[in-house]
Structure formats: C-alpha cells, structure tokens
Structure 1
Amino acid sequence: MFISVVIPTYNRKPILEKCLKALEKQEFNDDIIRNYEVVLVDDGSTDGTLEWLEKNKEKFTHVSCFSQNHLGPAAARNLGVTKANGDIIIFIDSDLVVTETFLQCHADALIKGEKKLGSDRLFTYGAVINTCNFDDPTSEPYKITDFSAAYFATGNVAIARKWLEKAGLFDTRFQLYGWEDLELGVRLKQLDLKLIKCPEAVGYHWHPPFNLGQIPNLIDKEIQRGRMGVLFYEKHPTFEVRLMIQMTLLHRILWGILSLGGILNERTLAPILQWLINQGKPQLALEIARIFLNWYNVQGVYSAYRDMVKN
C-alpha cells in the first residue's frame, strides 16, 4: 500500500517540527507499505510556517507542502486528499507526535481487519494521548481522560482513499471549530464502514499547560462548536446527533445544575483554578473549567438552533 499522511496546520510551527520529524523516522518490518508521503496543507498560517519549511525542506524528504487561505481544517484536508498519491489516507493533526512504528501499526491493522471482516469496508483508529510535555511528548502515559468513543475522528485515523471519495470528503461549510470529522463519520457509517481500534498506532497530542489566559479562546471555541453542531444536526436530524452535540434537555439540566445556572463561571472559579495551577495541577484545573465550558457550549448550541429555526 501507498500511504499519504494528510496534515492541516495553522500557526503551529514549534510542535509541527516535532510532528514532521517523527514522521521522517518511521520503521517498517515487512513489505506491506510500498511507500509513504506526508501531505502538509498550510491553512493561511501567519507564523512563518511556510518560510521555515522551505529553509528546512532537505530535512523532510517525505513532505509535500501546499497552502490555502484560512478556510478551516475541512477545506485543508480536502485539498490534502486531492493532492495525495496514496491509496490509504491517514489523517493526523499538526500537534500530534507519533511513534516510529505508527504507519506500520495502521497498515497491519488494516490488513488484519480486512481478513477478519472479509471486507475492506473499514478504517483504523489509533490512540491519542494528551500531553503538555513539549520537550518529550512521547513519554506521557495513557490516562482515563484520553479515552475516546468517537466513531471517526481525524486526530489519528487511517482509511482507504476510495471510501473518502465515495462519501464525498469533508463538508467545507464547517469553517468554525468542531464536528467536520464526525459529520463525515456519519456518512461513512451509512456506507457500512466498520471502526477497527488500533491502540498500537499511538499519537501524542501536545497542548500547552492550561492557564487562565487561555479561557477566552476556549470559551470562543465552545461557542463555535455549538454553532457547527447545529449545522451537523441540520444535515443529520437524528437523536444520536443531538446527543453528540449536547442539544438535549438532559444536557441543559446537567450543565445547568453543575454550573449552578452559570454562577460557576470563568470569573467565580478563577481563584480555585489559579490555585490548582500554582499547585502544579493544570490538567485538573482544566477538567474543572469544563463545567462552565460545557455550559457555554450548550448555550451556543441552543442559540444557533434558534437562529436556524428563525431563518
């Protein structure tokens, strides 16, 4: 098989370097993988990503780079697929650092899954471990908070190109944060594709340690995710999607109670969050912050839904 690793990126130059270096160090133990390439799509970065890559292109012999205006990851991934040469597409994000056997593990799982199912209607989903360790991201252990029940998420997934094309690629109307990959997943599920878990294909998702300065951006993302969630529901008006985007009475009650109707918010919880950060527990602080972040998300969903109904 010929594998194309498609990566959208936007202003992530420091961690992107680690991402691309890891992909240059891939090790293979058989002839399943005929060749591979890394298709990087710059989504209008302003941090010098393209200039840096041009100066260092001799270090990244497998990388082909393309660019577009800032249109979002859905459009970037679509461009990457159209430029890719592989029959197998692996999607990862540009803040993911993989192990040396990453591609081999996905390839093995695809072959094994096809034999087990007696069909090639499948894709493999690798493990994603979240880490704040920039210097040594792959040293992070797996945590219960790293578990994901998503059917199709582009942080670490391998799929035959033909199924992406048959499903219609990503919907580029998803220009804000969230849901473009899970929406494509609904269409892939309608084609009867099976999810094969591949925990051996590990990717370490780096993000900076949580601090209070990140909160406005996190709130904005949750509101964006709410708006895109309603677009998701507009395309697939099912109860399953309502559960996914938190557009149910249960979610309104749950996060309403946990946030005390919004009383526990970024202002009232700030002292506790800062104390936890000072104690060296930024991840715990972030989990507590999710109380009001999810409340903002639910509010955003229903606000966007009212706008949709009105229009």
Structure 2
Amino acid sequence: MFFSVIIPTYNRLPILQKCLTALEHQKDCSIVENYEVILVDDGSTDGTLEWFQDRQLEFPHLRCCSQSHQGPAAARNFGVHKAEGDTIIFIDSDLVVTENFLSAHAEALTRGYQNSDRVFTYGRVINTCNFENPTAEPYKITDFSAAYFATGNVAIARHWLLEAGLFDTRFQLYGWEDLELGVRLKKLGLTLIKCPEAVGYHWHPPFSLEQLPKLIEKEIQRGRMGVLFYQKHPSLEVKMMIQMTILHQILWGILTAGGRLNERTMAGVLQWIISQGKPQLALEIARIFLNWYNVRAVYAAYRELER
C-alpha cells in the first residue's frame, strides 16, 4: 500500500511544522510499502513556502506545491492529481498524528478489503488547545463525530475519488465540500470503517472573545455553502445536515431567545467562564448562538437563490 497524505494549508505555519514533523516519524509497517506527504499551499502569506525551502532535507517524504488562494476543495483536488500513491489520506494542516497513524489506517483498510474493495477508513480526531504537547490531550465526548466522510482524517483508494469526481470547487467558502463528496461516494456504495487507532490531534488556540467575529463569519459562510450542498442533493438528509428545517429554527430560536442571547449579551458570562480556566466550556456555550447565525444564514441564502 502506497499512501499519499494530502494536506492543504493556508497561513498555519507554526502548527503545520508539528504536523509535518509527526508524519516524518512514522513506525515501519510491512503493509505500508511507501508514503509521500503532499503539502498544497493555498496562497499562504506567512512564509510557509520559504520555511520549507530552507528545510527540505529534514522532510524526505514531503513534496510541496502551491496555488493561488482558491480554498481547500481546489487544493485537495490539486494534491490528488499530483499524488503517486494508490491510497489517499486527507488531513488538515493543524492536525498532529501519532507514530502509528499510517499503519493503523493500512491495517484497517486491509481488513476491510477482505470483504469488499468499496471501503474507506476514518480515524479519530481529538480537539486540543495544547500547542506544546498536543498529543497529551485525552479523548472527550465532544470529540465524537458521526460524519460519513470528513477530510480531517480519512483514507481512501485514489480511484474512488476520481470516479466520484473529486471535490466540487464551487465550495470556496467554509464548509460542506467534504460531506458533499461523501454523498457521491455513498451512492457508489462505499462503506465507512471507523479506525480509532489512527489518531490525529486537532489543534486550535484557546477560545477567547476576540475570536467571535471570525467564528460568526464562518457560520455565515457555512450557511451559504449549505444551500449549495442542498442544491446538488435536495434531500431531507441534507436539509437536516445543513439545519434547514423548521425544527432547527424553533430549537435555536428558543435557545437564543430569538437571537437575544448573542455575542454581545453573553460576553460577560463567557469571559467569566474563560477566566475560570474553562475556555472550551465557554466555546461550547457560544456554539448555541453561533448555530443561530448559521440557521439564519441558510435561510437567507435560500431566499436569495429563489429570487
């Protein structure tokens, strides 16, 4: 099995360094004949390419290519076309993996192939804000994911991606490009195999109130891309995924008191929780009104589409 690990990146140099270093320290495994790491720089302005050029000898498995800023869907497609491996692994550039990451995916795929070649593996993603030692974070209930196909930590035969048509590059804003491809893979009959032994630690800075404007903008973008998702696959399943139902309107409307509980009215409470050393709890509470922004953005984008 020859793995091509594809990593799109945009202005994430500090954590990217940890990501690439971890991939260079993989345990040998007889099933893994070879592997390459394809870094696709999506127009970074933080010196990512210059950093790599000065350290090429430190990363013998790494191949680096670049494009103008077009978003992760285009970057991943670029990486797939450049890949030499028969099996693709997608991870994000803020993910730090363990030393048995590749071998775990390889072993799970090999077991799956005994019954069918229409399988792919999805590893475990653990969220952490520990930059110095991200792999020390324990698994938490909030790390659970029910996603069918998510590019944070997934391994799949390259030919299935090509047959499905790769990522839709119209998803240029935040959200849904991987799950939309997942719908097409599901129609091809592919089955997900959970692979909790292939662990990646997804780093993000500790939550602070200063992050809220960007988080709100992400939710608005996710709403707009959700409508594109629904355009392509107009089903109840997709409507539920993008929160475009009356149930979601009622739920988040009640929980936010019709939007009255928001980043302004909740600022004092959130800051107090952060000051108690619980930024993750503050973020989970903020997700309540962030979801309200998302639901409103979905309906706004849908009304715009109808016009």
List aligned pairs for 1:1-311, cutoff 5 A.
Answer: 1-29=1-29, 31-115=30-114, 118-310=115-307
Q: Deviations over 1:81-119 (max 9, x none)?
A: 00010000000000000000000000000000111xx21
In the alignment of these two chains, the number of paired residues is: 307
Kindly provide the amino acid, as one letter, of the partner of residue 39 in structure 1. I
Taking the aligned partners of 1:142 and 1:134, their CA distance within structure 2 comes to 16
Looking at structure 1, the residues matched to 234 and 275 of structure 2 have their Cα atoms a distance apart, in angstroms, of 44
For residues 292 and 121 of structure 1, the distance between their equivalents in structure 2, rounded to whole angstroms, comes to: 39
Distance across 2 between alignment mates of 1:166 and 1:291: 38
Compute the TM-score of the two structures, normalised by the length of structure 2: 1.00
Distance in 2 (alpha carbons) for counterparts of 1:292 and 1:24: 40
Q: Which runs of 5+ in 2 are unaligned?
A: none
Distance in 2, matches of 1:196 and 1:56, equals: 36
Runs of 4+ with >2 A deviation: none
User: Which SS does the other structure have where 2:68 is aligned?
Assistant: coil
- The 3-state SS of whatever aligns with 1:53 is helix
Extract unaligned runs of 5+ from structure 1.
Answer: none
Distance 1:216 1:261 in 2: 19
DSSP-derived class of the 1:260 partner: coil
CA drift at 1:187? 0.1
Letter in 2 for 1:13: L
- How big is each residue's C-alpha offset from its partner over 1:263-300, in whole Å with a ceiling of 9 and x where there is no partner? 00000000000001110000000000011100000000
Give the whole-Å Cα distance in 2 for the aligned partners of 1:166 and 1:187: 10
Aligned letter for 1:71?
Q
Letter in 2 for 1:263: R
Query: Which one-letter code corresponds to 1:163 in the other structure?
Result: W
Q: Which deviates the most, 55-64 or 184-193? A: 55-64
Once residues 67 and 250 of structure 2 are traced to their aligned partners in structure 1, the CA distance between those partners, rounded to angstroms, is 42
Partners of 2:266 and 2:53 lie apart in 1 by: 45
Letter aligned with residue 7 of structure 1: I
Alpha-carbon distance in 2 for matches of 1:87, 1:147:
29
Q: Determine the C-alpha separation between the residues in 2 that align with 1:276 and 1:26.
A: 39
1:151-209 residue CA offsets vs partner (Å, 9 max, x unmatched): 00000000000000000000000000000000000000000000000000000000000
Tell me how far apart the structure 1 counterparts of residues 71 and 54 of structure 2 sit (CA, whole Å).
25
> How far apart, in 1, do the equivalents of 2:112 and 2:137 lie?
28
Residue aligned with 1:152, SS? coil
What is the one-letter code of the residue matched to 2:77?
N
* Corresponding letter in the other structure for 1:70: H
Residue 90 of structure 1: SS of its match in structure 2? strand
Supply the distance in 2 between the matched residues of 1:60 and 1:308 (Cα, whole angstroms). 47
SS at match of 1:106: helix
The percent of aligned pairs where both chains have the same amino acid is: 75
Deviation at 1:28, TM superposition (A): 2.0
RMSD: 0.5
What is the CA distance between 1:79 and its match in structure 2? 0.1
2:195 aligned counterpart, secondary structure: strand
What's the secondary structure of 2:237's corresponding residue?
helix
Q: Give the letter aligned to residue 158 of structure 1.
A: A
- SS in structure 1 at match of 2:260: coil
